Amino acid sequence: MEEKRKYGFKRPVERLDIHCHLGRPGGSLFTAEERMAVDRVLGISHAVILPSPVQDGTNMLPDCMDSEEARKTAERYPEHFSWFVNVEPDGSDEVVRKLKEAKAEGAKGVGEFGTKLSFDDPWVDHLLDICGALGLPFLFHISPYGTNLYGVIDEKGLPGLEGALERHPETIFIGHSQPFWYELGTYDPNLPGPALNGFPFGKVEEEGRAVELLRKYPNLHADLSAISGLNAILRDTDYGFRFLTEFQDRLYYGTDLLNTEFVFPLGQMLDFWLLSGKISEAIYRKICRENAERLFRLGRFAI
């Protein structure tokens, strides 16, 4: 048996998923126990729970755990789960208190932030100031102008995001969602804003604003989860491999897995690219685990 195993593929590290949503019993999303069972199959040994965004005091994703439920779940299963906190910004001292309390209780970041305010809203600026001061990374979902979906509102070309990156150099931003990854390459300037909630296909003939911002701002990182992150790499794999190589220290494996109907093949693709020599073991290790351990102070970086 041992003689045969040496010819098989063995992952150099188990994966750490930075984008996990969990639900309540009886709902459509994985419970913690269901998710842990699936993770054993997917080669994921740890996952970061992202609670529902909040708007007008209400969970925007009602089937999704809130921050308190995420905290309790991570405390119940500390070997498998960590957690983020989500708050609705209002510029008040109460937001400061909540984030300080969450940090003290073990929160690793803020997000998936999805309140429908613009990046230059004073309340969002206040929140980002606190994130920077407390060392809490900010993982955001973008909603383009002209839509009514959850997410920070920004225009084509991400001018709002760039302004926030400039104003908050101490805050780590983690980009996510279709409108963020659509900007990997250029596109028809006449494309309506809501179209950025889709998925571009074809070669990356010219690099877009997301790449420009990643090069210009070291506090911008990126989440490869969901169809949006996977499509960004798969639409042009030759460019995708170069992208993974250039930004290997600021990219993170994630699933955005909700239930068994949402199994995206990013993990399998990373395994295949490692096995076929398209990416190095060092890149694989960083993206699949080590970057997240370092940023969130997990594993050997825990304090």
Phi–psi pair at 144, nearest 5 degrees: -70, 150
pLDDT, residue 8, reads 64
- pLDDT tens, position by position, 265-296: 899 999 999 999 999 999 999 999 999 999 99
- pLDDT tens, position by position, 205-237: 999 999 999 999 999 999 999 999 999 999 999
Q: What is the pTM of this model?
A: 0.95
Where exactly are the structural domains of the chain? 15-295
One of 3.60.20.10, 3.20.20.140, 3.40.50.720, 3.30.1240.10 is the CATH number of 15-295, namely 3.20.20.140
Six-digit token string for 230 = 């996977």
Separation in Å, CA 34 to CA 31, 77, 85, 282: 5, 13, 22, 31
Averaged pLDDT in 10-residue chunks for the chain of 303 residues: 56 95 87 94 96 92 94 98 97 97 98 95 98 98 79 95 98 97 96 91 96 98 96 96 97 90 84 94 98 93 72
pLDDT, residue 261, reads 73
pLDDT, residue 98, reads 97
